[in-house]
A and B are shown apart, each in its own frame.
Chain A
Amino acid sequence: MTQTYDPRAAEPVGSGVTRLDQVVIRIAGDSGDGMQLAGDQFTAEAAAFGNDLATQPSFPAEIRAPQGTLHGVSSFQIQIADFDVLTAGDRPDVLVAMNPAALRANVGDLPRGGILIVNTDEFTKRNLAKAGYDHNPLETADFEDFQVHEIAMATLTAGAVESVGLGRKDAERSKNMFALGVLSWMYGRPLAAIEEFLEQKFAKRPQIAKANILALRAGHNYGETTESFATSFEVAPAALPAGTYRQVTGNTALSYGLLAVAQTSGMEVFLGSYPITPASDILHELSGHKHHGVVTFQAEDEIAAVGAALGASYGGALGVTSTSGPGLALKSEAIGLAVMTELPLLVINVQRGGPSTGLPTKTEQADLLQARFGRNGESPVPVIAPQSPADCFEAALEAARIAITYRTPVILLSDGAIANGSEPWRIPSVAALPPIDPDFAVAPEGESAAGTHQPYARDAETLVRSWAIPGAAGLEHRIGGLEKENGSGNISYTPENHELMTRVRAAKVEGIPVPALEVDDPSDGAEVLLLGWGSSYGPIGEAVRRARLAGYQVARAHLRHLNPLPSNLGEVLGRYRRVLVPEMNLGQLSLLLKAQYDADIQPITKVSGVAFRSDELHEALLAEFAGTLAAHEREKTPASTAAVVVR
């Protein structure tokens, strides 16, 4: 499917058109400037054209930060390519900056020679000051290395939409569409689909629709008619596996996975949730799908959200709760109850920067140990992580399957990058999805001497307990958080019983079969393995491609199951001289691996709230081959007081 990877390959095709195999575009502006909308539309365009792509939005934490300030900058990045891209790209090749703050916040990522398009109307003295500039940077030598296009977008937009008769302020609001028009021209994209979208979106306000369309066209015409751009570009469609595709974000794919569970299990899906960034979109999405057998409950707090989900599970529904790190902390006790009562429960944690409130809109993978161990007592819980936005669908199905089949809480660890990022998704056929069987007890199981049902009678092989739900006559029983007597489920404090039950609960989770870990090593002779989990899948993949192109032999593997770990993991790790583990935390998976396996584990860590860039990982690989990686990692922790404020 993929042919080459050479990010800078550019060949001219005919007059004024240059062919690229990929490009990364970032548009940035004030959070009220409509950057996400423009980005979404460019994405839809690229997807419809057949490019492979990946996107990554970046939101300010404040909803309405003061206009024109660095706090208020919102941006959207997309990589489009004629091959299968894995990330939204490290650095933009093209940066659109709608104001000085957006320029300042983003220009550091633009490589020398990159294309910079700025909306000069906003470059007033006042706005420059708000962004912390004491002069106009565009006039300095610093910017000579970029291909700068200064466009008075607000003025041009106002002129273009004059006929609509809006006030200047409202008229200028369409400048995001002007910018989108310029980009559409640069990459040879037709406008029809966007125009159709705008007409639908503003169906009730035809004036606004008109203004947006005029601005879009004006931007397109600007590219075509001015001499400003020497060339436009062409990125050919990618050769993706055959199928029907759509664009999807991680939170949406995850929600769809839950809809599919309702269908394949025949169980009602009950989502209990409390609003929290960046997980709320799951609640929003599912609340609109009541006709698919999903009920949503916006609870009074995180604890009520998980409690209600567990209550629904007790009644034979699949209880699901969605949250982010701080919320997971609040849910710990209830998850422990699900461990003790051995009821299905799906806990979705869309990780963000922590500890405490941390970085609500930024990404991190630092809840792995919390997911594995963040409860009192011996409290084993299966943990699963999706590796990309579209993969959230499969991950949700897999997590639900384990929860239902093994009567256990399961924690699904998504993160901010996956949740809001998007990519094309090959839509599965619902009819082909495997069924999930809740296998409710209908007659007494493990009958006691008195002939009564024993709720903790287990399957001899899987140790899964019998599950009778209210309404099943003759199977009435009581369960709860106190230690259960083996079999009967009555309260038991005896030492032997607690010893037994603790070990049985652990063995049940440990024994859940998960697929063997697959290793990708075309050379078959690599000595270094790059092992990741979760959203670092994309950057790891791109870094490995690059290293291989440069002639290095590198193996890679990615963990979906973080508990239990694949049974061949120890054997895989043992095959390599060194195992590099990139994680957006301070080495949590590394810690687990070191405790469990005899292998040379070297973490590659990052905790900036921003996902790994593939070039960072590529450099880490080069450092490994140069023998300096371990030292680099150590140096990340400030060794002297130089980095901190001294009291």
Chain B
Amino acid sequence: MTTVATSGLVGTDLGLTPAARHSALDLVPKAEGKQTARDFASAEEVRWCPGCGDYVILATVKSMLPQLGLKRENIVFISGIGCSSRFPYYLETYGVHSIHGRAPTLATGLSVTRPDLSIWVVTGDGDAMSIGGNHLIHALRRNVNMRVLMFNNRIYGLTKGQYSPTSETGKVTKSTPYGSVDAPFNTMSLTVGAEASFVARALDSDRAGLTEVLLAAAQHRGTAFVEILQDCPIFNDGSFDALRKDDAASHLIHVRHGEPIIFGAEGEYCVVKQGFGLGVAKTVDVAPEDIVVHDAYTDDQAYAYALSRLSEQDLTYSVTGIIRAVSRPTYDDGVRTQVEYAKSVTAQDLQETLNGQHTWTVS
């Protein structure tokens, strides 16, 4: 066994906390010239179904990337399996289309060894929350530097229409002709519960809202989870119509840090404390100081969790915007700090290590 100089680490400040406050882009080389969306379009022909929500997400991402000003070759998109996971092929960056549910694992290994990359995971509701659920929660808990874009269409599209872990109870699909008896995940509750340091949500068609959360996610040092509500017109048509129709404003609770949470076309609804959590009230019934002011930066998870509970599977309410963005040590920064520390305190060269403490010589 090796003697490890760990005693020096116990209880000391590894310098992780300050690093965690840095932007995720600090170590990524910057592009010299100006970039445009076209610079990020690959030659591969896009093959999603006509009308698929993925098109507009791709367009938004392509126009967001130049705003980051990063060298294109230092951006990596890694996906799993599913319709959304074709995403990397359509971007002129580095990309891996991996295996079902495992994209966060590849991103973890890459993030630990390559701090100079901006790493994006593209996944779907089945990929991230069913087959890959374990990897998702552990990436979030570790807070590995990566962005996870989960396209949630509440259905399995690529396998032609089975219900997913985010499908509403009772959903009739090919595999649930009598209606699903599964209870879905509340995606925000799940991720907040898994210690996520950044959680945000946007609607595929909301270009401005999506761009806003993507830009924030890009800079977040740690695992940034972004859920994108996405339409699958082929197998789950109109699943988010409640959030697109004329009265959508009364269903979408869009939150912005530091602002009171008020929604509805006329601002007629608001969010207030209720029991142990939060609830929706009519603005006229509430004293202005009782309206909850959104705090994305509070370390207290109970708040983010309470906010997440406002979203309901029947889409009566859906919270969008940046729900949580807190600073905490990241796994990959921690690993690198330990390596630096080990190098600073251990002068041993490899030959000395191989020799160990007890050798003998035969001549």
A residues adjacent to B (C-beta < 8 A): 44, 47-48, 50, 239-247, 256, 259-260, 263, 268, 270, 272, 284-285, 287-292, 295, 297, 299-301, 303-317, 319, 333-334, 336-337, 341, 427-431, 450, 452, 470-482, 490-491
Contact = CB atoms under 8 A, between A and B. Distances in A.
A297 B361 contact: no
A311 B358 contact: no
A47 B358 contact: yes
B362 A50 contact: yes
Contacts of A268: 113
Interface string B38-49: 000011100000
Given A256-B353, A291-B346, A482 B97 contact: yes
B108 interface: yes
Choose among A241, A474, A491 the residue with the greatest number of B CB atoms under 10 Å from its CB. Answer: A491
A430 B355 CA distance: 10
A480 B342 CA distance: 35
Given A260-B350, A295-B113, A319-B109, A478 B42 contact: yes
Given A337-B98, A470-B76, A311 B110 contact: yes
B34 interface: no
Contacts of A311: 78, 96, 105-111
Interface stretch (B51-59, B87-95, B148-156): B87-95
Contact of B96 (A272, A471, A479): A479
A272 B138 CA distance: 14
A50 B76 CA distance: 55
B287 interface: no
What is the predominant secondary structure among interface residues of chain A facing chain B?
mixed
B73 interface: yes
Contacts of A479: 95-97
Contacts of A450: 43
A481 B73 contact: no
Contacts of A428: 354
Interface in B319-363: 335, 338-339, 342-343, 346, 348-351, 353-356, 358-363
Interface of B: 1-4, 29, 42-44, 71-76, 78-79, 81, 88-89, 91-99, 102, 104-114, 116-117, 134-135, 138, 335, 338-339, 342-343, 346, 348-351, 353-356, 358-363
Nearest to B344: A291
Contact of A270 (B2, B112, B362): B112
B73 A478 contact: no
A476 B105 contact: no
Contact of A246 (B76, B102, B105, B358): B358
Given A476-B92, A477-B94, A470 B114 contact: yes
B362 A333 contact: no
Contacts of A260: 350, 354
Q: Which 7 pairs, one residue from A and one from B, show the smallest C-beta to C-beta distance?
A: A480-B97, A307-B105, A311-B109, A311-B106, A308-B109, A312-B109, A288-B2
Contact of B106 (A44, A301, A307): A307
Choose among A47, A284, A305, A314 the residue with the greatest number of B CB atoms under 10 Å from its CB. Answer: A314
Given A304-B105, A427-B355, A244 B88 contact: no
A477 B353 CA distance: 40
A490 to B, nearest CB: 6
26 contacts: A48-B358, A50-B360, A245-B359, A245-B362, A260-B354, A270-B113, A272-B105, A272-B109, A289-B2, A290-B342, A290-B343, A292-B353, A295-B113, A297-B335, A299-B138, A311-B96, A311-B107, A312-B112, A315-B110, A317-B113, A341-B96, A471-B29, A475-B73, A480-B95, A481-B98, A481-B99
A314 B350 contact: no
Contacts of B79: 480
What is the predominant secondary structure among interface residues of chain B facing chain A?
mixed
A1 to B, nearest CB: 10
B71 A473 contact: yes
B362 A478 contact: no
A99 B2 CA distance: 33
A242 B362 contact: yes
Contacts of A292: 350, 353
A482 B158 CA distance: 14
A204 B218 CA distance: 50
B153 to A, nearest CB: 21
B73 A295 contact: no
B342 A291 contact: yes
Contacts of B91: 478
Given A288-B1, A303-B102, A304-B135, A476 B350 contact: no
A491 B89 contact: yes
Given A333-B99, A471-B117, A480-B97, 17 more contacts: A242-B362, A243-B362, A245-B360, A256-B354, A259-B354, A297-B108, A303-B105, A307-B99, A308-B108, A315-B110, A334-B102, A336-B99, A471-B73, A476-B73, A477-B95, A479-B97, A480-B89
Nearest to A308: B109
Contacts of B349: 430
A246 B357 CA distance: 9
A498 to B, nearest CB: 17
A246 B120 CA distance: 47
Contacts of B117: 315, 470-471
A240 B362 contact: yes
B362 A315 contact: no
